[in-house]
């Protein structure tokens, strides 16, 4: 499919051989010259999203008014089933689109802790997990009288299954980790770690924010109990689009989430006196679902679904392989260090490079029309979205970074890090 890739590859030949090249046209590209390498923070807008949301706002909402709820009410599970099938390796009825990743993590971790036997009061995570995950787990530990045990992880190589094995035992209720590390892009061994947690009698809870839509996720095959993730990164559903949650089928009736909202209620519109949650995935809903957001999730998913996660992963590996080859040749001699695993089987869709002046360099990159992310400490993160990034863009980005560093153009930027990075 893709010709052999090294630093001498011709980017135009790689783009010409790319079977997914045509998908770029499905996105709104106001500035086609802009090299946008931040789709793992906020995906570019698929044209179909604006159209689908406009049809809701100017169409169904206006014409049907409150009667629209007859069909809208099922959208959280319809969109959930679509995500389950195309990117999560889950079964119908196991995924719900709702709330934010943070809120879903809270609901599922608290539900799992409550369902664990009383002698299991330990939540396990790692020190490189995404901040919201660590804070939410710490909050749950404090609110429900549990203990948060934090495994040490190398921030470049990612979570070590042996370290997880050493941290779990007869006292463990939940093991919560990220599938792809937000900083380095390291890909965790979901199957092995889930087996370790299961053998110890603990529930597994995976955060899929950086893997959904980029790396094949096989929740059923890996025997995962619970998972959460967002839709605005590789899934391109837009800023603040609703997140998803997954609960393995046979656990659904056993788990009770901490927020007893009316959308989880049996016979909701009977407005009954007490909370009796439905038996299925909808018991993890809380309140009125965000219909415009779910409409965006469904429209945004269509190109991903059509391309297929296998083909997307193949291109993603080709993109990161090419980027690393060029970084090795052009940027390592200029003082960069690669902070992402070299083995493609051990990384997700982004590449992180470290440099003492990373913050200033990332600002100079933006001015030069190359959009990266800065991540503490001293890292420039380059995200490659296989639906719209190409090989020519990578060559331009690496040359652009080399120019900025070789010319010293970054020194004029403030070295005080801003609030949003």
Ligand X SMILES: *Cc1c(COP(=O)(O)O)cnc(C)c1O
Annotated active-site residue in 99, 133, 207, 373: 207
Shortest distance, position 234 Cβ to ligand X, whole Å = 10
Give the ranges where 285-357 is alpha helix by DSSP (H).
Answer: 291-307, 309-326
Which range binds ligand X by CB under 6 A, 69-77, 100-108, 110-118, 264-272? 100-108
Whole-angstrom Cα distance, residue 201 to residue 341?
31
Is residue 203 at the binding interface for ligand X, with CB under 6 A as the rule?
A: no
Shortest distance, position 209 Cβ to ligand X, whole Å = 3
Among residues 214 and 363, whose Cβ is nearest to ligand X? 214
Torsion of CA 203, 209, 212, 218, to 10 degrees: -10
Annotated active-site residue in 2, 36, 203, 232: 232
What is the crossing angle of helices 391-407 and 358-367, to 10°? 120
Residue matched to tokens 């679904």: 305
Is residue 132 at the binding interface for ligand X, with CB under 6 A as the rule?
A: yes
Near ligand X by CB under 6 A: residue from 102, 157, 292, 305? 102
Would you give the end-to-end CA distance of the chain in angstroms? 36
CB burial of residue 61 (10 Å; 0-12, 13-18, 19+): middle
Q: Which residues pair with residue 124 across a beta bridge?
A: 149, 175
Q: Which of 44, 28, 50 is nearest to 292 (CA)?
A: 50
Annotated active-site residue in 44, 374, 381, 388: 381
Which helix (H) or strand (E) segment holds residue 191: the answer is helix 190-199
Whole-angstrom Cα distance, residue 283 to residue 276?
9
381 is catalytic: yes
Whole-angstrom Cα distance, residue 354 to residue 357?
9
160 is catalytic: no
Among residues 111 and 401, whose Cβ is nearest to ligand X? 111
Near ligand X by CB under 6 A: residue from 60, 91, 100, 305? 100
Among residues 178 and 389, whose Cβ is nearest to ligand X? 178
Which helix (H) or strand (E) segment holds residue 172: the answer is strand 172-178
375 is catalytic: no
Shortest distance, position 220 Cβ to ligand X, whole Å = 21
Shortest distance, position 273 Cβ to ligand X, whole Å = 33
Count of residues in the chain? 421
CB burial readout 341-367, b (16+ within 10 A) else e? beeeebbbbbbbbbbebbbbbbbbbee
Is residue 101 at the binding interface for ligand X, with CB under 6 A as the rule?
A: yes
Decide: 100 and 106 in contact? Cβ < 8 Å: no
Query: 3-class secondary structure for 144-165?
Result: HCCEEEEECCECCCECCHHHHH
Binding to ligand X by CB under 6 A, coded x per residue (else -) over 238-257, reads -----x--------------
Among residues 182 and 391, whose Cβ is nearest to ligand X? 182
Near ligand X by CB under 6 A: residue from 82, 94, 207, 393? 207
Tokens of 348: 């997700």
Q: What is the DSSP letter of 321?
A: H
207 is catalytic: yes
Among residues 102 and 268, whose Cβ is nearest to ligand X? 102
Near ligand X by CB under 6 A: residue from 56, 186, 209, 299? 209
Shortest distance, position 297 Cβ to ligand X, whole Å = 13
Which range binds ligand X by CB under 6 A, 18-26, 125-133, 152-160, 247-255? 125-133
Is residue 138 at the binding interface for ligand X, with CB under 6 A as the rule?
A: no
Is residue 130 at the binding interface for ligand X, with CB under 6 A as the rule?
A: yes
Residues 6+ apart with CB under 8 A from 379: 183, 339, 352, 353, 354, 358
Shortest distance, position 250 Cβ to ligand X, whole Å = 26
Shortest distance, position 115 Cβ to ligand X, whole Å = 23
Q: Cβ of 258: how many Cβ atoms within 10 Å? A: 16
Among residues 301 and 404, whose Cβ is nearest to ligand X? 301
Decide: 44 and 27 in contact? Cβ < 8 Å: yes
Binding to ligand X by CB under 6 A, coded x per residue (else -) over 163-202, reads ---------------x---x--------------------
Number of residues near ligand X (by CB under 6 A):
13
Is residue 210 at the binding interface for ligand X, with CB under 6 A as the rule?
A: yes
366 is catalytic: no
Shortest distance, position 304 Cβ to ligand X, whole Å = 17
Is residue 36 at the binding interface for ligand X, with CB under 6 A as the rule?
A: no
Among residues 102 and 378, whose Cβ is nearest to ligand X? 102
Catalytic positions = 130, 207, 232-233, 381
Residues that bind ligand X (CB under 6 A): 100-102, 130, 132-133, 178, 182, 207, 209-210, 230, 243
């Amino acid at each position: 499919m893709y010709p052999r890739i090294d630093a001498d590859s011709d980017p135009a030949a790689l783009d010409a051989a790319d079977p997914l090249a045509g998908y770029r046209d499905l996105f709104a590209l106001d500035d086609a010259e802009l090299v946008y390498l931040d789709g793992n923070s906020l995906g570019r807008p698929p044209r179909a999203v604006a159209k689908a949301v406009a049809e809701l706002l100017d169409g169904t909402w206006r014409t049907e008014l409150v009667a629209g709820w007859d069909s809208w009410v099922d959208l959280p599970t319809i969109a959930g089933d679509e995500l389950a099938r195309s990117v999560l390796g889950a079964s119908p009825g196991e995924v719900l689109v709702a709330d934010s990743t943070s809120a879903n993590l809270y609901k599922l971790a608290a539900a799992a802790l409550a369902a664990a036997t009383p002698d299991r009061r330990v939540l396990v995570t790692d020190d490189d997990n995404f901040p919201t995950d660590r804070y939410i787990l710490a909050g749950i530990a404090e609110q429900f009288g549990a203990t948060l045990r934090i495994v040490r992880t190398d921030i470049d190589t990612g979570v070590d299954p042996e370290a997880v094995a050493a941290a779990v035992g007869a006292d463990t209720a939940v093991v919560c980790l990220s599938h792809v590390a937000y900083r380095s892009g390291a890909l965790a061994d979901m199957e092995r770690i889930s087996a370790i947690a299961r053998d110890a009698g603990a529930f597994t809870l995976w955060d899929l924010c950086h893997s959904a839509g980029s790396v094949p996720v096989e929740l059923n095959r890996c025997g995962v109990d619970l998972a959460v993730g967002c839709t605005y990164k590789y899934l391109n559903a837009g800023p603040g689009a609703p997140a998803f949650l997954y609960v393995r089928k046979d656990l659904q009736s056993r788990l009770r989430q901490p927020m007893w909202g009316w959308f989880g209620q049996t016979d909701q519109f009977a407005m009954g006196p007490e909370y009796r949650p439905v038996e299925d995935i909808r018991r993890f809903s809380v309140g009125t679902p965000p219909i415009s957001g779910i409409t965006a999730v469904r429209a945004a998913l269509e190109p991903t679904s059509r391309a297929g996660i296998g083909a997307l992963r193949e291109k993603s590996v080709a993109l990161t392989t090419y980027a690393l080859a060029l970084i090795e040749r052009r940027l390592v001699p200029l003082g960069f260090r690669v902070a992402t695993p070299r083995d493609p089987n051990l990384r997700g869709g982004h590449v992180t490079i470290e440099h003492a002046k990373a913050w200033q360099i990332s600002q100079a990159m933006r001015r030069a029309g190359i959009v990266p992310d800065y991540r503490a400490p001293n890292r420039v993160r380059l995200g490659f979205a296989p639906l719209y990034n190409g090989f020519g863009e990578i060559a331009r980005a690496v040359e652009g970074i080399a120019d900025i560093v070789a010319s010293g153009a970054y020194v004029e930027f403030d070295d005080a890090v801003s609030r949003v990075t």
